[in-house]
Amino acid sequence: RYDKLVESVSDSTLAAAEGLEGVGGSIGLTRLFELVVHHGLVTPTKRTDAHAFICTRNDPDKEAGFTRTASVIANMLRTRNLKIDVAVEDKNKLKKVLSVAEKKGFPFVICVMDDESIVVKNMESKTQEDVKTADEAVASLLRQLGVNY
């Protein structure tokens, strides 16, 4: 039951005066969708149209250099009309970030690890290239995407 639900979301004095009650239900769309996928009636596709996901650590012991490097890489790629997502995470959560990136269907992940370590990871082939600069990271991604640079 949803007693007094209308009162809580309405400015109307009528709703407050009447003390409107309500009931509701759900058919469980999540469960229904899982069944549809399981029986092959729908084939899910990747969840993002971004070309890459850039992650970096939020390390309180360091300056904002890691975040700055991630922003530089993102801007360099965006000027080439690539779709890029960026996240700053706690330094202990990078494995979780990679798992989320894989579930969302990002084809590439660029992790800014520290001042001289950037990892460009191909999520499909599970290969990675370790580079030292933002320019090298951009060149690596563009090369793997087949984009002239």
Q: What is the pLDDT of residue 142?
A: 96
Q: Over the range 65-94, which residues count as b (16 or more CB within 10 Å of their CB) and which as e?
A: ebbebbbbbbebbeeeebebbbebeeeeeb
Q: Look at residue 111 in the predicted model and tell me its pLDDT.
A: 93
Q: What is the pLDDT of residue 68?
A: 85
Sign of CA dihedral 87, 113, 95, 146: positive
β-sheet bridge partners, residue 137: none
Alpha-carbon gap, residue 123 to 96, rounded angstroms: 14
SS3 27: coil
Regions in the chain scoring below 50 on pLDDT:
none
* 63 neighbors 32 (Cβ within 8 angstroms): no
Q: Which two tokens stand for residue 113?
A: 């690890």
Whole-number pLDDT of residue 78: 96
pLDDT of residue 128: 95
Which pTM was predicted? 0.67
Alpha helices in 52-93 (DSSP H): 65-78
User: Which pLDDT score is estimated for 115?
Assistant: 75
132 touches 115 (CB < 8 A): no
